[in-house]
């Protein structure tokens, strides 16, 4: 699924991937342990990551044509052109756990942490599809060792793609997921720690 951009200055956005600009994975989320001053230097505007330079989960996308795997005469598993690897992996696992979420269009994919400070964490996810039957989105939070989830109120409109949870404890690990209200479909759960 890695892109095959070959011309100088061709960035991740060239394959229809619009969420791959200025990601922290250019420095923070790679296997190197040395400090990194990555600036997207081989892209014309200097502000986009070039996919050949930075290979992290968030920057690898399917730049080939849309892929469709027929499950039955009425359902398919689809990998869209421009879909990020992180979204595809979440979709595959969700299909294994609850196939109806994917085949019905009720999937909630690519949940990731955004801005983090000592008492708040932002989470983001991809926009849900037009066929999603959820009436709203419910953010859920818990301490990993806790028995159950706490629902954050109020619920969010189905069009939401991010939310900032406030009032958290410093230097504490939390789990977050997004539930489609009226469905049995949830996003993956992510583990995020507040700053000290």
Cβ-based neighbour number of residue 46 at 10 Å: 10
CB of 119 closer than 8 Å to CB of 169: yes
pLDDT at 56: 53
Name beta bridge partners: 173: 193
CA distance 8 to 122: 34
pLDDT at 57: 54
Phi, then psi, of 61 in degrees rounded to 5: -135, 160
Return averaged pLDDT per consecutive 10 residues of the chain, 196 residues in all.
33 46 40 44 47 52 78 78 80 86 83 92 88 92 92 93 95 95 91 94
pLDDT at 161: 93
Question: H or E segment at 97?
Answer: helix 85-97
CB of 121 closer than 8 Å to CB of 166: no
pLDDT at 59: 60
CB of 158 closer than 8 Å to CB of 134: yes
Going along the chain from its start, the domains and CATH numbers come out as 1-63 (no CATH), 67-103 (no CATH), 112-193 (2.60.40.10)
Q: Which of 118, 120, 122, 92 is nearest to 107 (CA)?
A: 92
């Amino acid at each position: 699924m890695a892109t095959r951009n070959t011309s100088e200055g061709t960035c991740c956005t060239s394959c229809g991937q619009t969420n791959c600009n200025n990601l922290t994975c250019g420095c923070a989320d790679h296997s190197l342990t040395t400090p990194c001053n990555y600036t997207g230097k081989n892209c014309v505007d200097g502000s986009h990551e070039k996919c050949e330079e930075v290979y992290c989960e968030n920057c690898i996308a399917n730049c080939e044509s849309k892929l469709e795997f027929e499950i039955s005469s009425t359902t398919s598993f689809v990998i869209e052109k421009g879909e990020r690897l992180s979204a595809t992996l979440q979709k595959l696992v969700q299909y294994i756990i609850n196939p109806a979420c994917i085949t019905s269009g009720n999937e909630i994919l690519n949940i990731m942490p955004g801005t983090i400070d000592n008492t708040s964490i932002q989470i983001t996810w991809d926009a849900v599809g037009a066929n999603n039957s959820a009436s709203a989105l419910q953010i859920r939070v818990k301490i990993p060792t806790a028995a159950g989830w706490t629902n954050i109120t109020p619920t969010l409109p189905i069009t939401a793609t991010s939310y900032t949870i406030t009032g958290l404890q410093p230097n504490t690990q939390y789990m977050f997921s997004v539930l489609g209200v009226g469905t049995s479909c949830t996003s993956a759960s992510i583990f995020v720690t507040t700053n000290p």
